[in-house]
Chains A and B, each alone.
Chain A
Amino acid sequence: MSDIPEEDDMDEVDRRYRRATALDESRPGETVRPAILSQARRLAAERLAQARDVADVQPAAQHRRWRRAALGTLAAAVLAGLLLTPRFREADVAPPSSAQTATPPNAPTVAPAMAPAAAPPPAPPSAAASASASASAFSASVSAARSSAALQGALAANRGSNPAMLARRLRRAAADGDMTVLRALLGGNDVDARDTDRRTALMLAAANGRGDAVRELLAHGADPRALDAQGRTALQLARAAGHVAVVEILERAGAASGEPP
């Protein structure tokens, strides 16, 4: 097409436009910039206030460190019990030997609920050997067992299987993004259990920017449209806190549909 300019001509047109623009002294009206910036500042202040509200109702965010330590210690203690107690019990019923005289007569017994899903290996021939094997087995199996069904059973038994307490633990794990505990508690518990402010685990995970927890909770059927006592959804809480990735996850899950514009 001969009437269409070549690239050099196009560049020349652009250059002439830019030269003229550089000399252009026209500006928006004097009130435009102040009006826009004032509105922007007002919205920013509102968002900060909302974020503070969210933070105020999330003690989990401030006590994350000690909670992790406490949960880790608890899990380690439970696992130690899981691995060591059956051996003592078996030692009680085994034929007496010189090595077994050191076994306490009232060694703790294992509770049915704490029976590990993955049973420990067969009892070793002596208590000394058992203790040694248990010590190494413990350290080797901690990481694997943390995500296993055994942990779920152990956590449930340790906390008395109180549904309200388990729901609270679930919400805290969601707020902390503690995926091991969260996964352990998700099966069989009410994923949408509310706290006193009617917040679900999904809301707390969203408000704290816990993307993995949000995905896990949604995969377990958490309701993304649930409202807290102030009428906010998990999506709104995530937006207010500026957690863009979580907002995207929730929007993909359909949390934005039906939301007021």
Chain B
Amino acid sequence: MAEAADSDESLMRRYAAGDAAAFERLYLRHEMRIWRYLHRHTGNRATADELMQEVWFAVARDAPRYMPTARFTTWLFSIAHHRMIDAVRVSGRSMSLDELGHEAEAVVGQLTASPSAGPLAAAVVQDQAAALRRALDRLPAEQREAFLLHIEGDLGIEEIATITRSSYETVKSRLRYARSKLRELLEDHA
């Protein structure tokens, strides 16, 4: 199967052969998706930063072992998922926005309206963003995980099932319940 020259898989091959620029392109392409996944799951900026480095260090280190049998993003989010699980285990508790106090408010505040919008529009968007954050935080961890892997990793049910070592039906169910809960919470807010 031919690979596009700038596909993720091609960039990984080039990096494995010593092309540092290929890694930079790859990193910039996926930086925010991975960071949002980590940040919105852990709810903690410092933890997300720390995990972010661990994930990308692992990508850089294991590049020569990478086999493009699956999409690069599946591999990448699989690393992120496992790093996050390890971090949760080490911390001995589930990370949640409820525990974060001011930082949670700060995260919510970052979901602001565009600068060109008026103060009222900004307030409305900020309010909606806050509602989304609260809704995400109220999801059970497994449902939030499935939803974030889907929405940030652009992963399908089978890929999420592989990463989380769950069955296809379980993941499908988690995704549906996650969306159902989010819809309810957002409608309540509207």
Contact = CB atoms under 8 A, between A and B. Distances in A.
Contacts of A26: 36, 39, 45, 107, 110
Interface residues of B, number: 47
Contact of A12 (B46, B125, B183): B183
Contact of A16 (B56, B107, B186): B186
A211 B114 CA distance: 55
Interface in B61-119: 61, 63-65, 67, 107, 110-114
A14 B153 CA distance: 13
Interface stretch (A99-107, A119-127, A147-155, A240-248): A240-248
Nearest to B113: A23
> In this complex, which of A26, A239, A247 has the most chain B Cβ atoms within 10 angstroms of its Cβ?
A26
Interface of A: 3-5, 9-10, 12-14, 16-18, 20-21, 23-29, 31-33, 35-37, 39-41, 43-45, 47-48, 51, 239-242, 244, 247-248
Contact of A32 (B49, B64, B65): B49
A253 to B, nearest CB: 15
Interface in B28-69: 31-32, 35-36, 39, 45-46, 48-49, 52-53, 56-57, 60-61, 63-65, 67
Given A36-B52, A40-B15, A44-B20, A28 B31 contact: yes
A247 B67 CA distance: 9
Nearest to A48: B18
A9 B36 CA distance: 23
A43 B179 contact: no
A25 B107 CA distance: 9
Contacts, number: 123
A247 B128 CA distance: 50
B142 interface: no
A20 B132 contact: yes
Contacts of A41: 20, 23
Contacts of A51: 17-18
Nearest to A30: B49
B151 A14 contact: yes
A23 B56 contact: no
A176 B23 CA distance: 31
Give the top 8 A-B pairs by smallest Cβ distance, nearest first: A242-B17, A48-B18, A44-B20, A26-B110, A239-B64, A40-B60, A36-B56, A40-B23
